[in-house]
Structure 1
Amino acid sequence: MAETSTKGAVRTVDVADDRGGQRLDNFLLGLLKGAPRSLIYRIVRSGEVRINGKRAKPDSRLAGGDRVRIPPVRLGEPDAGEGPPIAMAERLAEHIVFEDRALLVLNKPCGIAAHGGSGVRFGAIELLRRARPNESLELVHRLDRDTSGVLVLAKKRSALLELQRQMREGGIRKKYLALLVGRMAERSFTVDVALQKSVLSGGERMVRVTADGKDSVSHFQLIERRGGHSYCEVRIETGRTHQIRVHAAHIGHPVAGDEKYGDRDANRRLREQAGLKRMFLHAASLEFALDDGRSPYLLSAPLAPELAAALDRLG
């Protein structure tokens, strides 16, 4: 990545070929270490950032050879106060469960979004960039805010592009652990119903089953029954928003603790009986290979302690 700059002046950066396809906002976050996403959005939307001399949007896709104009940015200005607290960033870094030269893997706690935006000031990616200011980190995939478990970040652009390709082509094996409300009649079954995202009048995002939605396939396998509920392994062929949660609700066995698609009465009883105060959905493992199959990975994260404790209380 070639760059011409002087301190406190406009910079012009030539985009390297391996950065082709990257969103402008993510490109700038990687260059302007410590800059909050709100500041990135402001300088792009104001027209201070240009691609090949033209105005751009935060989600504009870059191509190798593009020239990006970047205005002088003082990270001491008020916007910078919106960045993640270093103490919080360091606490999250303690949840890293695997790292090599290509990848960093986090056992994401419940309650932390994968990334900032839509009313969320910052998420796991912003926190880890704060904890690792001299490293290039990009999200490979996402997890719901209330889902814990394996979250993969790429340290190399080549690994990011390869894993995103495998995600699109179904080459990554994903396993989740979930507690479903009620007793499943069968030990294993597949839900193959299309899903479609919609936004309610208040801005809340919902997903519903609809014939003209996107293909979505989830495989449920009962592990054991606990307290009249079903502890399951779930493998997904597709990675639609809220897929497991909507599929589980569709078959009449919603995910325990799910406040959006779940059973409110059952959730209340589980809080009282098992101390379950969050959604019982955990991304347990991802399996794939890099380097044309020469570098296999099996990335796993142990069940969150509060979920294991709830299972124990259910007997």
Structure 2
Amino acid sequence: MQHTKVTLHTITENEAGQRIDNFLLRHLKGIPKSRIYRIIRKGEVRVNKKRIKTEYKLQLNDIVRIPPVTLEEKKPLSKVPDHLLKLIEKAIYFEDEELILLNKPSGLAVHGGSHSELGLIEILRQLRSDLTYLELAHRLDMETSGVLLVAKSRKMLQELHTMLREAHQIEKHYTALVAGVWQGGQKKITHKLERQQDRSKKVQVSEEGKESTSIFTPLRHYKDATLMNVQILTGRMHQIRTQLAYIDHPIIGDDRYGDEKQNRYFAKHHHSTRLFLHANLVSFTLNGKTYTFKAPLADELQKVIDTLK
């Protein structure tokens, strides 16, 4: 256990705008939320020598008094192996003062967790230890490859989150190879999606769920499959995978929502060894400037396309 002393912390530009409770949850990692709210409520936390409420939003140069607390000893993060550092360094294909854009490899979680303590963001922070702030603007499934936005300032992160919450403010397109021949042309489809309350962590179509909308456009028809462009207008967990499986066009290589027999067939005859879902385009306008980012299809997915007729 680690026992801290009273500290006075001056709020930086990257910390301004946060609620005091969220700031403390980040600053005092390992402390339960109930304890955070208690020290605020009891007045142990002060901002500019005054008591505050949990919803208080921090301002630049505020001075926060953080009381002594007991923290659990945290193991330092493992040093990232060189091959992962090189993988992520190679994945970066755009960077400016506010943003880093990556073409995320399949098989790598964006955050460390149950699969590995090192996710993409942890690897990137070690790779770019010269930067004081790096946060994911959105997520991609571990199996999905493609465009991933990382903010280099809290201001940029907040602006991107605001645009993501408002439909059409950030245009996001995916490429998917689905089982079966798609009938008809472009279709705008809305389902209500809900996360199952069990260990499967799967998403299902349910009247109790939240409305989720995607625009599906066939790009190329093959004998047993269709190459699709998918534009998502909402950003629900597993949205594309769940919707396509529900309408009997599961994504090739999807071992969670897909068809096991079809996946085995494509693995054997078309060398398809992963989920065929790729975030290929992100486009948005910010402060009068339009950003459009395209991530080329991963080599292993292009090889699958080359085998199809």
- Global fold match (TM > 0.5): yes
Q: Supply the AA of the counterpart residue of 1:183.
A: V
Q: What are the residue-to-residue correspondences of 1:1-315 with 2, within 5 Å?
A: 11-16=7-12, 19-21=16-18, 23-24=22-23, 27-28=26-27, 41-42=29-30, 53=44, 63-64=57-58, 65=62, 67=64, 69=66, 79-82=75-78, 84-85=80-81, 87-135=83-131, 136-170=133-167, 171-200=169-198, 203-291=199-287, 294-315=288-309
Q: Supply the AA of the counterpart residue of 1:300.
A: K
Give the C-alpha shift of residue 46 in structure 1: 11
Give the C-alpha shift of residue 90 in structure 1: 3.6
Give the C-alpha shift of residue 182 in structure 1: 0.6
Structure 1 pair 162–122 and aligned structure 2 pair: CA distance change class (3 A): same
Of all paired residues, the percent bearing the same amino acid is 35
* Structure 2 Cα separation of the partners of residues 19 and 230 of structure 1: 47
Residue 210 of structure 2: SS of its match in structure 1? coil
Residue 229 of structure 2: SS of its match in structure 1? strand
Rg: which structure is higher? 2
RMSD: 3.0
Render the CA deviation track for 1:222-276: whole Å, top value 9, x for unaligned: 1101342000100110010000000101111001110111010000000001111
Q: Supply the AA of the counterpart residue of 2:276.
A: F
Structure 1 equivalent of residue 50 of structure 2: none
Q: How many residue pairs end up in the alignment?
A: 286
Residue 19 of structure 1: SS of its match in structure 2? coil
* Structure 1 Cα separation of the partners of residues 280 and 149 of structure 2: 12
Give the C-alpha shift of residue 68 in structure 1: 6.4
Give the C-alpha shift of residue 26 in structure 1: 8.4
* 2:191/2:205 contact within 8 Å kept: yes
Give the C-alpha shift of residue 146 in structure 1: 0.5
Render the CA deviation track for 1:129-168: whole Å, top value 9, x for unaligned: 1111121111100001100000000112221111100000
Structure 1 pair 19–204 and aligned structure 2 pair: CA distance change class (3 A): farther
* Long gaps (5+) in structure 1: 1-7, 29-39, 55-59
* Structure 2 Cα separation of the partners of residues 139 and 19 of structure 1: 18
Structure 2 equivalent of residue 36 of structure 1: none
Structure 2 equivalent of residue 31 of structure 1: none
* Structure 1 Cα separation of the partners of residues 123 and 257 of structure 2: 29
Give the C-alpha shift of residue 197 in structure 1: 1.1
Residue 89 of structure 1: SS of its match in structure 2? helix
Give the C-alpha shift of residue 220 in structure 1: 0.6
* 1:189/1:219 contact within 8 Å kept: yes
| TM-score with structure 2 setting the length | 0.82
* 2:77/2:117 contact within 8 Å kept: no
Residue 158 of structure 2: SS of its match in structure 1? helix
Q: Supply the AA of the counterpart residue of 1:142.
A: R
* Structure 2 Cα separation of the partners of residues 183 and 190 of structure 1: 17
